Structure 1
Amino acid sequence: MGEHADAAPATPAATLVVFRHDPAGGPAHILMVERSGSLAFAGGATVFPGGKVDPADTELAGAFLARTGLELDPADAAGRITAVRETLEETGLAVGLVGAIDAERAAAARRLLLDTGRLADVLEAFDWDLDFDALVPFARWWPRHRNMRVFDTRFYLADLGTGAVDVTADTTENRHLFWASAAEALRLADEKAIKIIFPTRRNLERLAQFDHFGAARAHALATPIVTVTPRIELRDGTRWLMIPADAGYPVDGEPLDQADRA
Structure 2
Amino acid sequence: MTLYAPSNDPMPADGPKVVPAATLVIFRNAADGGPPELLMVQRAREMRFAGGAAVFPGGRVDPADRELAAALLPSEPIELASARIAAIRETLEETGLMVATHRPVSAEEAAQGRLLLLERGTLAPVLEHFGWDLAPERLVLYAHWCPPWDKGFDTRFFVTDLGTGAVDVTVDATENTRLFWTSAAQALDMTARGEIAVIFPTRRNLERLARFASHADALVDIRRHPVERIHPRIETIEGEEWLMIPDGHGYPVRGQLKAAADRG
TM range (shorter): over 0.9
- 1:61 and 2:69 equivalent? yes
Normalising by structure 2, we get a TM-score of 0.93
Following TM superposition, by how much is the alpha carbon of 1:245 offset from its aligned partner in structure 2, in angstroms? Answer: 0.3
Task: From the superposition, tell whether residues 31 and 121 of structure 1 become closer, same or farther in structure 2 (CA, over 3 Å).
Answer: same
In the alignment, which residue of structure 1 is the partner of 2:246?
244
Q: SS state of the match for residue 38, structure 1?
A: coil
Following TM superposition, by how much is the alpha carbon of 1:221 offset from its aligned partner in structure 2, in angstroms? Answer: 3.0
The aligned amino acid for 2:73 is L
In the alignment, which residue of structure 2 is the partner of 1:135?
139
Normalising by structure 1, we get a TM-score of 0.93
Distance 1:212 1:179 in 2: 15
The number of residue pairs the alignment matches comes to: 256
In the alignment, which residue of structure 2 is the partner of 1:160?
162
Task: From the superposition, tell whether residues 5 and 84 of structure 1 become closer, same or farther in structure 2 (CA, over 3 Å).
Answer: closer
The aligned amino acid for 1:210 is F
In the alignment, which residue of structure 2 is the partner of 1:259?
261
Listed as ranges, the matches of 1:170-189 within 5 Å are 170-189=172-191
| Among candidates 56, 77, 86, match of residue 81 of structure 2 | 77
In the alignment, which residue of structure 2 is the partner of 1:120?
124
- 1:111 and 2:115 equivalent? yes
In the alignment, which residue of structure 1 is the partner of 2:9?
none
The aligned amino acid for 1:132 is P
- 1:48 and 2:56 equivalent? yes
Equivalent residues of 2:17, 2:149 under 8 A apart: no
In the alignment, which residue of structure 2 is the partner of 1:227?
229
Distance 2:250 2:220 in 1: 12
Structure 2 unmatched ranges of 5 or more: 4-11
Superposition RMSD in Å = 1.7
Q: SS state of the match for residue 15, structure 1?
A: strand
Task: From the superposition, tell whether residues 168 and 236 of structure 1 become closer, same or farther in structure 2 (CA, over 3 Å).
Answer: same
Distance 1:100 1:37 in 2: 34
**Structure 1, residues 113-147: CA drift from partner, whole Å, max 9, x if none?**
1111111011100111221221010000000136x
In the alignment, which residue of structure 2 is the partner of 1:18?
26
The aligned amino acid for 1:88 is L
- 1:92 and 2:125 equivalent? no
Aligned-pair identity (%): 53
Structure 1 unmatched ranges of 5 or more: none
Runs of 4+ in 1 over 4 A off after TM superposition: 1-8
